[in-house]
Amino acid sequence: MEDKIKKIIAIAVNAPSGDNMQPWRFALTDQMLDLYNIPTGDTSPYNMRQRGSLIAHGAVLENIDIVAPTFGLQSSVQLFPTPDDKTHIAHISFTEVSSRIHPFAATIEQRCTNRLPYDKIPLTDKTTQALDIAVGSLKSLSLSWVRENDEKDELGRILSLNERLILENEKIHDAIFSIIRWTNEDEQATNDGLFIKTLELAPPQRFAFRIFSNWRRLSKIRKLINVGKLVSKDTAKLYASSGAFGLFTIDDESDTTFVTLGRALERLWLTATNMGLSIQPVTALPYLYQRIKAGDANFLSLEQQREIENAAKAIRMFFHVPQTHTTAFLFRIGVCRVQPSARSRKRAPFIV
């Protein structure tokens, strides 16, 4: 059984994680598997209280459930089994069952982030209903949509604030550029982070991006040119070129709920992939807003905090979010007629 579980893990780690940092490790004993968070695995300012990592772990757990029957096993998950150890995400036991192939089993390794422009034709009611059904059985969360073109244009403009912040806030800038892998050799050396080709930058943009990677040099350029405004303008157009924006909201902020959100996100993403749809997370501003609410955003200027708070209010308005809910994960979705230029690599799973 141990060999089967290792094969399951090897497929399951093809899950989304913040900046592709894959903050997980596994402990395997006989028929038991334990999943642990690596707190230093994702140190981005967006990963407030490890919530982004918890979402990533939920996606891994969803993949384990999907893949296990292929190998004649069924998984049973106990979340946070060690109360005094928050890094111990789940204890997973396996029992033998008749082999069967889940409809999403082959989709797990096909799923990826696509940062290219999509068709702007709004998703149909039938499409969004199918996506709603995919996640409808999971509790503590809701999924809502923005599909009208004029609203997508405005949301694209609002969300592009994050690209400006990357070029105007030193902490965010350094965090982002530290995980860029500039060459094939860089990516193969770590098998994590964001490979430059996955960002889908045109050659002039890629050249500028490399220049902007040095904060001191960027600061001098910004005295001459408002590069943040220029970049955010292009990003707003890209984001608006979508069939819809989707938003997950949650009714409590417990660690368990963020893990559940990760499971829901993976179900939705796999469903969308099977339907020929592409997805790109655009959830940076909700993450930063959560940090501001928690009083843990000293790296942001007061003006930047106000801008993020205004953006968060606008997002809530567009999606009609109740005051009792938290905006937890935002993404763009649609039909893309071009395959991504590259896909991020995954590390071999760390199994003890």
Mean pLDDT of 316-331: 96
Q: With both helix axes pointing from N to C terminus, report the angle between 227-240 and 161-168 in degrees, rounded to the nearest 10.
A: 150
Q: What is the pLDDT of residue 122?
A: 97
Residues 313 and 70: beta-carbon distance below 8 Å = no
Mean pLDDT of 44-65: 97
Q: State the pLDDT confidence band at 336, using cuts at 50, 70 and 90.
A: very high
Q: What is the pLDDT of residue 113?
A: 97
What Rg, from alpha-carbon coordinates, does the chain have?
20
Q: Is the pTM of this model over 0.85?
A: yes
User: What is the per-residue pLDDT across 251-260, written as a single tens digit (0 to 9) for each?
Assistant: 999 999 999 9
Mean pLDDT of 41-50: 96
User: What is the per-residue pLDDT across 282-311, written as a single tens digit (0 to 9) for each?
Assistant: 999 999 999 999 999 999 999 999 999 999
Q: Is pLDDT at 321 greater than 90 in this prediction?
A: yes
CATH topology of domain 2-96: NADH Oxidase (3.40.109)
Surface-to-core class of residue 30, CB atoms within 10 Å of its CB (0-12 exposed, 13-18 middle, 19+ buried) = exposed
Share of the chain above pLDDT 70, in %: 100
Q: Is pLDDT at 31 greater than 90 in this prediction?
A: no
Q: What is the pLDDT of residue 247?
A: 98
Q: Name the residue ranges covered by the structural domains of the chain.
A: 2-96
Instruction: Encode 108-129: b = buried (16+ Cβ within 10 Å), e = exposed.
Output: beebbbbbebbeeebbeeebbe
HSE-up (13 A, CA, CB side) for residue 290: 23
Q: Is pLDDT at 159 greater than 90 in this prediction?
A: yes
Share of the chain above pLDDT 90, in %: 97
Q: Which of 111, 162, 179, 163 is nearest to 333 (CA)?
A: 111
Q: Is pLDDT at 30 greater than 90 in this prediction?
A: no
Q: What is the pLDDT of residue 26?
A: 98
